[in-house]
Amino acid sequence: MPKYGMVIDLDKCTLCEACVTACKLENNVQIVSKEDAAIGRTMFWMTMLTLEHEGQYPDIKLKRIPRLCFQCDKPSCIKTCPVRATYKREDGIIAQIYPNCIGCRYCMANCPYTVKVFNWDRDKQPQQVEKCYNEDVSVRPKGIVEKCVFCIHRLQKAEERAKAEYRELRDGDYVPACMEVCPAKAIYFGDLDDPHSKVFEAIKDYRRFTLQEDLGTIPKVYYLNAKD
Amino acid sequence: MKIQFTTIEGKSFQFYAILVILSILAAAGLYASYRMFEGGHYITGMTNQVPWGFPIVMAVYLIGLSAGSLVLSSLSSVFGKKEYKVFSRVAVYLAALLLMAGLMSITLDWGRPDRLMIPFTYFNFNSMFSWNAFLYSAYIGICVVYLMAMFAEKEKLVTFIGAVAVIWAVAVHSGTGAIFGFIHARELYHSPLLAPSFIAAALSSGTGLMILILLGTFKFTNRPLDNRLILGLSKLLSGFILIVLYFIFIENLTRFYAFGLREAEHYYLFEGLHSKVFWIGLILTGSIIPAAILFFPKTNKSIPWIALASFMVVIGVLAERYIIVIPAQTYPLDQFPGKEVSSVFLDGAYANYLISLPEAAQAVGIVAIVGIMFILGLKLLELLPTEAVIHDTEKK
């Protein structure tokens, strides 16, 4: 069984936020009004965290990292979900079963990385948005919690294609939207256990770190620190 | 002497007036809940940073009152304090009502209350919520059986179920505390002390409420009530207040001691709206003043003063629930120790939470429903004794 993981090379990252945009469009993430966003109801499966912000434009020094669900090996969210609406698949992806979610938000309180978002008001979407929905991904109703699932619908598609072509799934067949659009190719994705995959090479880097290692959640999204 | 329990007549103008007022409040609350369900939770004050708001505070509070009430009802059956038998039926009935109200508050807070049955069909062994779904259902069952055994006057059965009920009440409320205490990521939640301090708060608020209920119902029905009963309960209450204070002191001292938690602790005690709730609501109103009233020899024998102290404790424990649930979420998670984090997601910033009107209306509505059910229960069931007088031969 593969164990999917991701590596984000912060040295290559240009902070363009293409991944953030691609993620939002790929997964039909709700568009939130300005007022709601201002009080903290932003809907993103992938966001940019600003760590350092010095100086004035154009002489500015920025340090930002993209953050998505870390698909922890020992996730605290699946432990707390009373209805098993979030669960760990055999391939390591922490998936969501939207029809099961009762919207109790216990997982949101428990996630140390605040990557879970709640659908506060799905009905207030702009009309035009419906035209650009991705057909492969369900549109979540209001009142349930959602998060990044490593574009799991793409895995299904890749598996089907590989099956039709009578071959095994190859490294690079299944890539999430954020990795696909990254112009700097700063995102690696693949099977962490496969010695021939690019992520396997990438996590051997000495610059590797994960967020809040002391919590013991063992995130499967690794960062490679920027070379100063 | 055998205690006679009778129903109240419930035909007076005041009775119907209270019923109508409570019904209006309940209807307003249910309308607010309907709006929350139908339109989405954007009408509440909750955000992605503060996913648990006032409905959860209310739920924890009501469940605490319920557990406290159930333990008090067992004073006569299990702990042999026969003089307290007069209110044991009322206490059990109230415990069942309050727990249902707490469950209602939780369920109506869900994004999808229509999926009510899913927690019972998809059990997650690791989740405290899952356990609580069963603990709570069984709790209501125990209350019903307990009450029926009391109506049938089966002493031995009452003692047995009473013992089960006490254990169950402690388990239920520890489970409620564990919901928060088990959250590792948030430093203001993660504490093994939360479960026992929840029990202490449950006992003190439950005793306070019982004093108020006794004074209120007996006065309203013009039945004689022995002051010694209230004095006995007030002594218990004064002890419980001190235990609650002790837990708060230890918990905050521990957090203040550790360098890593000192910033969070400073935020908890001195910054934002919740710190005022802490100092004014919990420490002053909920602990210091009632403790002073109950220990000061001039006031601790007067019924109006005791009633005031009980009321303050009941309010103070609500404040305690608030400062347990809310600040732990408004305090930002330390994702990058040593760095100032910011994002459109409002990471690294103190989140704001203000109780919105629908949340407040829902809370008031739920309390009103408890009130309606309670006075209807007094009318339909034989809950109240004809007199609550301690006969000296009874007291050993």
Q: Residues A214-224: pLDDT tens digits?
A: 888 999 999 99
Q: What is the pLDDT of residue A70?
A: 94
Type of residue at A7: V
Nearest to B343 among A47, A83, A112 (CB): A47
Interface test with B, best of A76, A84, A211, A217 (most B CBs within 10 A): A84
Write out pLDDT tens, residues A104-147: 999 999 999 989 999 988 677 788 888 888 999 998 988 899 99
Which positions in chain A touch B35 (Cβ < 8 Å)?
Answer: none
Phi first, then psi: what are they for A138, rounded to 5°? -70, 150
Which residues in chain A have their CB less than 8 angstroms from residue B342's CB? 49-50, 53
Write out chain B residues lying below 8 Å of A75, CB-based: none
**CB nearest A44 (choices: B112, B113, B345):** B345
A218 to chain B nearest CA, in Å? 13
Percent of chain A residues topping a pLDDT of 70: 99
ipTM confidence: 0.89
Parts of chain B with a pLDDT under 70: 1, 391-396
CB-based burial label for A132 (10 Å; 0-12, 13-18, 19+): exposed
Which chain B positions have a beta carbon within 8 Å of A106's beta carbon? 127, 129, 179
Q: Which of A40, A51, A104 sits opposite B49 (nearest CB)?
A: A40
Out of B109, B183, B342, whose CB is closest to A109? B183
The answer to whether B206 and B367 are in contact (CB under 8 A) is no
Q: Which domains does chain B have, with CATH numbers?
A: 5-385 (1.20.1630.10)
Strand segments, DSSP code E, in chain A are 4-9, 47-56, 59-67, 86-88, 94-96, 117-118, 145-146, 187-191, 208-209, 221-224
pLDDT at B85: 86
Could you give the number of structural domains in chain A?
Answer: 1
Name chain A contacts of B110, Cβ cutoff 8 Å.
Answer: 102-104, 143
Indicate yes or no: CB of B124 within 8 angstroms of CB of A84. yes
B35 touches chain A (CB under 8 A): no
Best CA proximity match to A63, nearest among A113, A7, A14: A14
**pLDDT tens track for A56-108:** 888 888 888 999 999 999 999 999 999 999 999 999 999 999 999 999 999 99
Q: List, for residues B69-108, the tens digit of each pLDDT value.
A: 999 998 888 888 888 888 889 999 999 999 999 999 999 9
CATH number of the domain where residue A124 is located: 3.30.70.20
Tokens of A10: 């912060």
Tell me the C-alpha distance between B89 and B69, whole Å. Answer: 10
Q: Which domain holds residue A176?
A: 4-224
